[in-house]
Amino acid sequence: MPIHEGIDAARIVIRYHQPEVGGYLEWAPPVYLGDVSDPNTELQAPLTDMYYFLVAYNELGCSDTDVVYIDLLPVPDVDAGQDYTIVLGGFTQLHGDGAYTYSWSPTETLSNPDVYNPIANPQDTTTYYLTAWDEYGCIGYDSVTINVIDPVYIVTPNAFSPNGDNLNDIFRPVIIGPGTLLDFQVYNRWGEMVFEWTGEGPGWDGTLNGVNVELGTYIVTSHAQDDLQGKELFDRGTVILMR
């Protein structure tokens, strides 16, 4: 009897396997069919399960009928995972799910594009596209974006002028990227600590015990955290105090 073959999300081919003996044939109902008189017609994007009847006529006009049932399989629920952010030079692991075989693209920055969980080390922000098939050959798609950012680091401003003009009056190291300043200390040229910040207040205003310190160069040690990777960061620099 006729059978259905080649099921995917777009089309099915139904084939008539009986030998031809002349006459003609016709599929019914005609919906979703490419050519109702073609023994190997395409069934294009059917919306539901269907019974199709094949009526074949010989040269004398005698007919016979057979039937095929088209059982549509669900499109696999393919999942490429959540978008993720890494630091330039780092890597992450992709995680595909919902299917039987997998194919990722682009392939250049993947350890193996044909597994569900390749290692990705993109050098800039990249969207990876996942094509996957279930055990019946049905196909599904998804994508995931790996955002690549520059490393987190501490910047120590090289000068400030606490003269009360509301311009550059407060000194405080700056964190570039997704990080948090934890503390910093300021030392004079004799190695004496003149200021320490541990999270309270805006920063150093150029005073010690409420008295203006002398102009000059001060040593700054800073401690921060990379919020993306959880690493501690340390920096040592200098700042010039001028008024």
Q: What CATH number is given to the structural domain containing 141? A: 2.60.40.10
* Distance of alpha carbon 98 from the chain centroid: 16
Residue 18: its pLDDT value, please?
53
Structural domain that includes position 25: 3-70
The answer to whether the beta carbons of residues 76 and 130 sit under 8 Å apart is no
160 and 123 inside one domain: no
CATH classification at residue 41: 2.60.40
Residue 22: its pLDDT value, please?
58
Domain count, the chain: 3
Last residue of a domain, one of 106, 126, 149: 149
| SS3 annotation, 93-123 | ECCCECCCEEEEECCCCECCCCCCCCEECCC
110 and 41 inside one domain: no
Residue 170: its pLDDT value, please?
97
Last residue of a domain, one of 98, 122, 149: 149
Let me know if residue 132 belongs to a domain.
Answer: yes
Residue 14: its pLDDT value, please?
56
Last residue of a domain, one of 70, 95, 116: 70
Give the residues of the chain that fall short of pLDDT 70: 1-22
93 and 55 inside one domain: no
- pTM reported for the whole predicted model: 0.64
Token pair recorded at residue 206: 């150029």
Residue 43: its pLDDT value, please?
84
Token pair recorded at residue 219: 């040593």
123 and 194 inside one domain: no
Q: HSE on the CB side for 30, CA within 13 Å?
A: 6
Let me know if residue 79 belongs to a domain.
Answer: no
